[in-house]
């Protein structure tokens, strides 16, 4: 298979590039900045992994990578939309440019890159598209409203797309990870720049929320589990649409589905400290 994976600097993307290539496939590993490829090159030494410059928000880079793959191989068998960013913060305090940025990376760029790959997949009457969503794509917790919005949008588009491209032999799947040991929430832009300051009406809740986040990080699992799932889904002939993964994810999704919302709301308030004084 010829597979394009985005966001391969670290985390799921880097490990997926390794795992997919180990299984004998050719991987084009997208990096927002090609100068950061050292870790990828070290991890994939001896494997057929080709780092490529790919800021998924830039049309010229999306088009260039797709054209390069088609020129060299005449086909694209798999697309893994892994590149993404996170932003935390109370909805009221997220700035408009921050919200637009997270939607641009986590939703619009995925739509655009997928659309660029689909003509080739339709022509060859086969293909696999794996979109990396999140538990937040089906379960919107406090302080993750903007991030969850981007993932809910991705979930809806992916479900619709699955129906649309199935007649062409193209498979669409979603992975919904919970806490894993990646750096997505540790980057400088992970929290809104005006969130939770001393004059914030939400400042009183920050300590409890930070405690909850730290507990979640402490239980985080090995991202290589997700990498193996990505490779499995690329190879699977008839995979299910959604694949929740990670500590506590399945129970939380079951609670979201079956518990009355009022009860769930009270449980979340107790856990996060977002209760009336």
Tell me the per-residue pLDDT of 22-42, one tens digit each, with 9 for 90 and over: 999 999 999 999 999 999 999
Annotation says 28 is catalytic: no
pLDDT value, residue 186: 59
Please check whether residue 142 is in contact with residue 265, taking contact to mean a CB–CB distance below 8 angstroms: no
If you write DSSP's letter for every residue of the chain in order, what string do you get? Answer: -EEEES--SSHHHHHHHHHHHHTT-EEEEEESSGGGTHHHHHHTTTS-EEEEE--TT-HHHHHHHHHHHHHHHS---EEEE------BS-GGGS-HHHHHHHHIIIIIHHHHHHHHHHHHHHHHT-EEEEEE--GGGT---TT-HHHHHHHHHHHHHHHHHHHHHGGGTEEEEEEEE-SBS-STTTSTTSB-TTSS-TT-TTGGGHHHHHHHHHHHHHT-B-THHHHHHHHHHHH-SS--SEEEESTTHHHHHHHHHHS-HHHHHHHHHHHHT----
Domains in the chain, please, with CATH? Answer: 2-203+222-248 (3.40.50.720)
pLDDT value, residue 185: 52
The yes-or-no verdict on residue 154 having pLDDT over 60 is yes
The yes-or-no verdict on residue 215 having pLDDT over 90 is no
Least-confidence region, from 20-34, 79-93, 210-224: 210-224
pLDDT value, residue 259: 92
pTM of the model: 0.93
Active site residue: 28, 139, 147, 180, which one?
147
Least-confidence region, from 50-59, 164-173, 190-199, 233-242: 190-199
pLDDT value, residue 89: 92
Average pLDDT over the chain reads 93
Give the mean pLDDT of 195-209.
86
Tokens at 157, concatenated: 């588009």
Percent of the chain with pLDDT over 90: 74
């Amino acid at each position: 298979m010829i597979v394009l994976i985005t966001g391969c600097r670290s985390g799921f993307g880097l490990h997926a590039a390794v795992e997919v290539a180990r299984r004998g496939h050719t991987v084009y590993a997208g990096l927002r900045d090609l100068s950061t490829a050292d870790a990828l090159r070290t991890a994939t030494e001896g494997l057929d992994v080709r780092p490529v410059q790919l800021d998924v928000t830039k049309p010229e880079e999306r088009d260039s990578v797709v054209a390069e793959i088609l020129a060299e191989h005449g086909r694209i068998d798999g697309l893994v939309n892994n590149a993404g960013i996170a932003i935390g913060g109370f909805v009221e305090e997220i700035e408009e440019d921050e919200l637009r940025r997270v939607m641009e990376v986590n939703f619009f760029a995925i739509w655009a890159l997928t659309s660029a790959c689909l003509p080739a997949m339709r022509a060859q009457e086969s293909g696999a598209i794996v979109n990396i969503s999140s538990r937040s794509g089906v379960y919107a917790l406090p302080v993750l409203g903007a991030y969850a919005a981007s993932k809910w949008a991705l979930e809806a588009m992916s479900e619709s797309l699955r129906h649309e491209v199935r007649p062409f032999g193209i498979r669409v799947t979603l992975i919904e990870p919970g806490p894993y040991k990646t750096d997505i929430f540790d980057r400088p832009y992970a929290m809104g720049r005006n969130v939770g300051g001393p004059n914030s009406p939400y400042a009183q809740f920050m300590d409890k929320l930070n405690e909850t986040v730290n507990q979640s990080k402490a239980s985080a699992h090995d991202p290589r589990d997700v990498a193996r799932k990505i490779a499995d889904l690329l190879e699977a002939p008839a995979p299910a649409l959604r694949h929740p993964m990670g500590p506590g994810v399945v129970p939380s999704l079951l609670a979201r589905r079956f518990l009355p919302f009022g009860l769930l709301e009270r449980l979340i308030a107790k856990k996060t400290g977002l209760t009336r004084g």
